[in-house]
Amino acid sequence: MMKENPRSTCMTGDFFISEVTDLESQLSREWDAGSQLLIELALQGLDNQETLYQAIEHHLRSGGKRIRLLTSLDAGLRLHLEPSERRSLACACELLHNASLVHDDIQDQDPKRRGSSSVWAKYGTDIALLAGDHLLVSAFGAIASSKCSPLLLSHFQKRTHHLIAGQSKDLSFSHGREDDNPMTLYKTIASAKSGTLLSLPLELPLIASGHSN
């Protein structure tokens, strides 16, 4: 009876050829390097004895799939960007996403994030506001370190604006201050919030590789 292995392709008898490609192996290494850089960028310039440092570390180490980091790293590899550039762009996307989560939890008064205490619930609203702000400026710092920084910074700022505008509409709707059709408004909010944070990890590597149209 032949062995079952969902990650392998059956050839003959008990012989299998692994489907793990060189790109997948490289992406795994990129994930490790990118995750480490993410922590370094997020905590850069902070004293590890400060509450702000501890709050940001708590948030980033509480879990999360880091889909935006992985998506951007994958795109950067396929577009043959240099390692430092693709990692910086990927971290910028992930830092922006996490900044929005910290701020969202304050606005929604959600005490939990990824099964742990949210930053505001554990460290207070004041520290959570600063944590979100610090993650946001760290994201812009990561973009600024890239070779195509003017174009990338401009696009990153535009997408950040879309994200903030979407959150504003979401809050207005939640507080009963929107007259738009609910389904139309839902699509607008989803496009501005989720859509922005899912498209940006692809857009930045494309811009960095010369595909700016």
* Angstrom distance (rounded) from CA 201 to CA 109: 28
159 with 191: CB under 8 angstroms? no
Helix H or strand E segment including 96: helix 83-108
* Angstrom distance (rounded) from CA 206 to CA 71: 12
205 with 70: CB under 8 angstroms? no
Using alpha carbons, select from 60, 69, 71, 109 the residue that is nearest to residue 92.
69
Which amino acid does the sequence have at 28?
A: S
Instruction: Give, for all 213 residues of the chain, the pLDDT tens digit.
Output: 334 443 333 333 443 334 456 888 999 999 999 999 999 999 999 999 999 999 999 999 998 899 999 999 999 999 999 999 999 999 999 999 999 999 999 999 999 999 999 999 999 999 999 999 999 999 999 999 887 789 999 999 999 999 999 999 888 876 655 566 788 888 888 888 899 999 999 999 999 999 875
Using alpha carbons, select from 17, 74, 23, 30 the residue that is nearest to residue 7.
17
pTM recorded for the entire structure:
0.85
* Angstrom distance (rounded) from CA 213 to CA 196: 17
